[in-house]
Amino acid sequence: MSDARPAIEQLQAAFTQAITEVRSIHGVPMLRLHKQDVPTVVHFLHTNPSLRGSLSLLWAVDHRPREARYELWYLFTLAEHKDWVLLVTDLRGNEREFPSITPALHAAKWYEREIRDLFGLIPIGHPDMRRLVRHEHWPKASHPLKKDFPWDRVLERVQGQYAFRKIQGEGVFEVPVGPIHAGIIEPGHFRFSVAGEPIMQLELRHFWKHRGIEKLFEQQQLTAAVPLSERVSGDTAVGHSLAYCQAVETLLGMDVPRRARYLRSLVLELERLHNHIGDVGAICNDTAYALAHAHCGRMKEQLMQLNDRLTGSRFLRGVNCVGGIAIDVTDGQVAQVVTELDAIEQDFTAIEKILFANASLTERLENTGILTERMAWDHAVIGVVGRSSGMDRDIRRDRPFAAYDELQPKVVLYRYGDVRARMRVRLDEVHESIRLIREIRRRLPRGPLRIQPMRKPQPGEWAISAVEGWRGEILYVVMAGEEGRIHRCKVRDPSFVNWPAIQWAALGNIIPDFPLINKSFNLSYAGNDL
């Protein structure tokens, strides 16, 4: 259990009666609990100074038809060593209720509402029992991740209305924005409550793009679902497909060749580059700074054309495959990548100097949309947004995957949590990604690109995989089913974690600044809504 062993021993000593089993599955320590003890153990794990566990994922599994039970899984990341601890509890037979941990842990709020919608399991004591994923036009008792719910069932539309929270008082009024927007963007509904100019409350209403991705995974073979993972969030094809492949490779006992691991790191950093540079330009555009936006757009297009020449896809699709990588590159191609990145970095550095010298831009970005370190911790915020608010966490360093154990990336960290900090993280990570790609070129080994499966997983066997995508930590949990199929695939894009936090970053700001705050978070609607 590596560095998690002292934490496990501490939990065992404190909760002897609550813990019924301790195991390690594929290196992840798992503690099985009585369901009534889960909130107490979670509170201890989260608040104890020597543990400080942050909720990374909460999901449910329907084991039917093999067993008449559900399981609830709570994955925590320990603050100091970034090790995982997994808590598991059962709901047997006709049990549908479980004690909510949301009153003690803000980060669980959306997870438990999602479980209620998709499985019909009830988090008793949850402070907000409104629907999250199942909008009000869904019929009652429609819970699509239950095993007896057909994947191709067409639902009848019913009438219903979402109950938004309202602030009462003289001079308070609401400003609804979306879900249909003026630009060509994905749908999201934002409802502001204001009295005068400052935002008193922001409430999100998302999941307009729910596509049933996790249900679709259950119709796939373990080795055939990579194209589906690439389409969870279109701008993160490499990050999602890599996370999926790693989980399946663990189940199939596959040790990916070293050259393939390096090439996976290469394409992941290329994905980070074009998205970060595009975001820097978009943030500038929302301050009406069109010059910087134009130059960043030009550099992003150069990078996407580079992606296309290197892999045949501007969005780097079709690169990852189970067991390794589907394309190879020559030494000359890698050298050309580095040459082009050298030129782009020079252009980008020149733009940076202009940005830092622009007093009006700085005035718009500083102290706008502040997400404090405490608020980021309470909501388990991750990725660019988290590192802008003092959350020292990056999976490339903390739980190395692909070739990052040899590349040793440097983690960019700021603590003031405003729009400028979120832009600064992106600026610095652009240079770090280019440095890593130079290092990949220098170290890139010879050898095979792909390996065949070494074993067949047993039905019910599972594996967890983490990848640091350009937005942040992507998690996949894949459970094997019968005849090489997927029984359960839980997907968590960083957007699902960070969307609730934007509601707090907006408070006290004015509505015209919200597009700027929103762009500095730049979260995915599709990756969130699945």
Q: Taking the CB of residue 17, how many other CB atoms lie within 10 A of it?
A: 7
Q: Do 199 and 226 fall into the same domain?
A: no
The residues near 40 (Cβ < 8 Å, ≥ 6 apart) are 15, 18
Whether the per-residue pLDDT at 3 is higher than 80: the answer is: no
Please report whether residue 453 resides in a domain. Answer: no
CB 466 within 8 A of CB 395: yes
Whether the per-residue pLDDT at 339 is higher than 70: the answer is: yes
Q: State the Cα–Cα distance between residues 165 and 437, nearest whole angstrom.
A: 48
pLDDT, position 1:
40
Whether the per-residue pLDDT at 168 is higher than 60: the answer is: yes
Q: Do 221 and 192 fall into the same domain?
A: no
Please report whether residue 95 resides in a domain. Answer: yes
The residue among 205, 224, 249 that closes a domain is 205
Please report whether residue 393 resides in a domain. Answer: yes
pLDDT digits (tens, 9 = 90+) for 464-503: 999 999 999 999 999 999 999 999 999 999 999 999 999 9
pLDDT digits (tens, 9 = 90+) for 273-289: 999 999 999 999 999 99
Structure tokens that stand for 126 in this block: 């949850």
Where residue 4 falls among pLDDT bands split at 50, 70, 90? confident
The residue among 186, 205, 224 that closes a domain is 205
Q: Do 109 and 178 fall into the same domain?
A: no
Q: Write down the H helix ranges in 36-156.
A: 38-47, 109-119
CATH code of the domain in which 79 resides: 3.30.460.80
Domain count, the chain: 3
Q: Do 226 and 201 fall into the same domain?
A: no
Mean per-residue pLDDT, 261-265: 98
- φ and ψ of 262, to 5 deg: -70, -40
Q: Do 186 and 237 fall into the same domain?
A: no
- 410: containing domain: 213-442+461-520
CB 366 within 8 A of CB 418: yes
Q: State the Cα–Cα distance between residues 457 and 439, nearest whole angstrom.
A: 36
pLDDT, position 321:
96
Q: Do 336 and 231 fall into the same domain?
A: yes
Q: Do 96 and 20 fall into the same domain?
A: yes
Among left, alpha and beta (phi > 0; psi -120 to 50; other), residue 194 is beta
Whether the per-residue pLDDT at 53 is higher than 70: the answer is: yes
Q: Do 324 and 387 fall into the same domain?
A: yes
Please report whether residue 448 resides in a domain. Answer: no
Q: Do 56 and 104 fall into the same domain?
A: yes
DSSP 485: B
pLDDT, position 93:
87
pLDDT digits (tens, 9 = 90+) for 98-154: 999 999 999 999 999 999 999 999 999 999 999 999 999 999 989 999 999 999 998
Mean pLDDT across the chain, nearest whole number? 94
pLDDT, position 171:
87
Whether the per-residue pLDDT at 422 is higher than 90: the answer is: yes
Please report whether residue 223 resides in a domain. Answer: yes
pLDDT digits (tens, 9 = 90+) for 175-203: 999 898 877 788 999 999 998 889 999 99
pLDDT, position 2:
52
Burial string for 314-328 (b: 16+ CB within 10 Å, else e) reads bbbbbbbbbbbbbbe
Q: SS3 sequence, 212-280? A: CHHHHHCCCEHHHCHHHHHCCCHHHHHHHHHHHHHHHHHHCCCCCCHHHHHHHHHHHHHHHHHHHHHHH
Q: State the Cα–Cα distance between residues 47 and 529, nearest whole angstrom.
A: 30
Q: Do 98 and 189 fall into the same domain?
A: no
Q: Do 279 and 252 fall into the same domain?
A: yes
The residue among 104, 124, 144 that closes a domain is 124
Q: State the Cα–Cα distance between residues 517 and 513, nearest whole angstrom.
A: 6
Mean per-residue pLDDT, 148-176: 90
CATH code of the domain in which 345 resides: 1.10.645.10
Please report whether residue 137 resides in a domain. Answer: no
Q: Do 231 and 375 fall into the same domain?
A: yes
Please report whether residue 138 resides in a domain. Answer: no
Please report whether residue 141 resides in a domain. Answer: no
